[in-house]
Amino acid sequence: MTDSTDKKSHVSDELLNSFIDHQITNEERQELLALLNRDETLANRVCELQRIKQLTQLAYDDIPAPAGNEQPDIARKRQFPMAASIAIFSLGLLLGLGMMQINTRVDLLPSLSAAHAQTKVLVHLTSADVDAGLNTLDNIQQMLQEYAANQQSVVIEVVANGNGIKLLSNSNRDIARRIAALTEWHDNVSFAACKNTIDQIKITNGRDIQLIPQVKLIDSGIVNVIKRQQQGWTYIRG
């Protein structure tokens, strides 16, 4: 990939990197999605870049622990025991990789006045940031409550792949408790984890991922994300 520009599609590697790093505008994302749908070579390039990104994220999850000479006021944050992921992108799944990123703040969530009989929302977890994860769960809970209060129908599916898998493991009690409570009180919210990612963590780091009991396993997180978008679900990056 030393050539910075693809002869067929004239899409630079810089733009493709920006795409997988969520650094482009929604308009650019939509344009690129259209290209990916008809250019197999381009889709393969995206696949390779995504894989390199995830390999990099994975590589430092099992590094030696620091020696422990910290000052008393410099607390060490609890480390996650699990690895990051390598999502496996088959040729076909790449065709829908361009997805609209929507701010996760509640005020930007789908409008309650929408004419649709049922609002369908896909929340995509790709980061292991616990605070961001808890914030996403807050937003989900608020959305469920607002729709219920307005007697409107909503279904929310939370899908995790890549680093997002860490949030759905039972190693984080705060997240686990919140998910248990959400699924107990609301039938219209579900959580799913990407099996490809979990398998890859097992291969790479030899670790088994223990998911929160309420989380179901799906073959490929990214395929599910794309499928839902094609079905008209609203995409939110958690």
Partner 1 sequence: MFSKSIQHKKLRLELSENRDRLYKLAFAWTNDAMLADDLVQETLQKAMQSLGNLREHAKLMPWACRILRNCHHDWLRRHREHGDIEDFEIAGSVDPEQDYLQQDTSRLVRDAIARLPQKHRDVITLVDLMEFSYQEVSTALDIPIGTVMSRLCRARAQLRDRLKVHVEQSSTASPTQLRRVK
Can you give the binding site for partner 1, defined by CB under 8 A?
1-2, 4, 13-14, 17-18, 21, 23, 44, 47-49, 51-53, 55-71, 73-77, 79, 83, 86, 88-91, 94, 127, 129, 196, 199-200, 203-205
The residue among 13 and 146 lying less far from partner 1, judged by its C-beta, is 13
Residue 201 Cβ, how far from partner 1 at the closest point, in Å? Answer: 10
Residue 54 Cβ, how far from partner 1 at the closest point, in Å? Answer: 8
235 strand-pairing partners: 122
Specify the pairing of strand 215-218 against strand 118-125: unpaired
Structure tokens at 119: 């609002």
Nearest to 57 by CA among 3, 33, 21: 21
Strand order through the sheet with 153-160: 215-218, 189-194, 153-160, 118-125, 234-237
- The Cα 53–Cα 115 span in angstroms is 40
- The Cα 169–Cα 210 span in angstroms is 5
Structure tokens at 225: 């994300």
Residue 205 Cβ, how far from partner 1 at the closest point, in Å? Answer: 6
The residue among 75 and 149 lying less far from partner 1, judged by its C-beta, is 75
φ and ψ of 102, to 5 deg? -120, 140
Residue 156 Cβ, how far from partner 1 at the closest point, in Å? Answer: 24
The residue among 80 and 235 lying less far from partner 1, judged by its C-beta, is 80
- The Cα 5–Cα 192 span in angstroms is 37
- The Cα 19–Cα 130 span in angstroms is 24
The residue among 55 and 134 lying less far from partner 1, judged by its C-beta, is 55
Residue 5 Cβ, how far from partner 1 at the closest point, in Å? Answer: 11
The residue among 67 and 149 lying less far from partner 1, judged by its C-beta, is 67
